[in-house]
Amino acid sequence: MDIEPTEPRILDRQTLYEGANWFFWLAILSALNSLIVYFVEIRNTPFAFGVTQWLDGTRGPLTAEGFSPPLHIVGLVGDLIIAAIFAAFGYFAKRRHDAMFIVGIFLYVVDSILSLGLRDFWGFCFHMVGVFFLFRGLLASRHVRENATSY
């Protein structure tokens, strides 16, 4: 039985687009989480950004169980603006702006630390998965740029 050598998968444009699409998925999941928290009045899911969890927790009245979900539209609008900013990072990352990838990944890592500070361990784990795929997209973007001959 002979084992044939395999070539490692080369980072390509498809990997770049998949990595940039993670910004869109993160924004969509966070926006859905914010809408669910606002209208159904349940706790945040692991898909929420740490900063939106903080906004949701500090906008409602303090009860015996802690802060309740936001009762003001200001918290929801803030959550949706943050999601739109992450979608903008995805828009520019798809167009191979490495700086947007780097700034977006940095902000998402800071957000993951905030999630950890809010004791949302499942959310922190989801953030780490997101960071992995975002970083993979950044590497693919740099690889495509270095090996580009013509577009």
What pLDDT, in 10s, does the model give residues 109-140? 999 999 888 888 898 999 999 999 999 999 98
**Token couple for 42:** 């349940």
**Residue 63 gets which letter from DSSP?**
E
pLDDT at 25 over 80: yes
- The model's pLDDT over 77-111, given as tens digits with 9 standing for 90+, comes to 888 999 999 999 999 999 888 899 999 999 999 99
- The model's pLDDT over 27-63, given as tens digits with 9 standing for 90+, comes to 999 999 888 888 887 777 888 888 888 887 765 554 5
- Burial of residue 10 (CB within 10 Å: 0-12, 13-18, 19+) is exposed
> What does the longest C-alpha to C-alpha distance in the chain come to?
69
Q: Where are the domains of the chain?
A: 13-142
Q: Compute the distance between CA of residue 106 and CA of residue 28 in angstroms, rounded to an integer.
A: 19
Q: Which residue from 66, 38, 62 is spatially nearest to 52, judged by alpha carbons?
A: 38
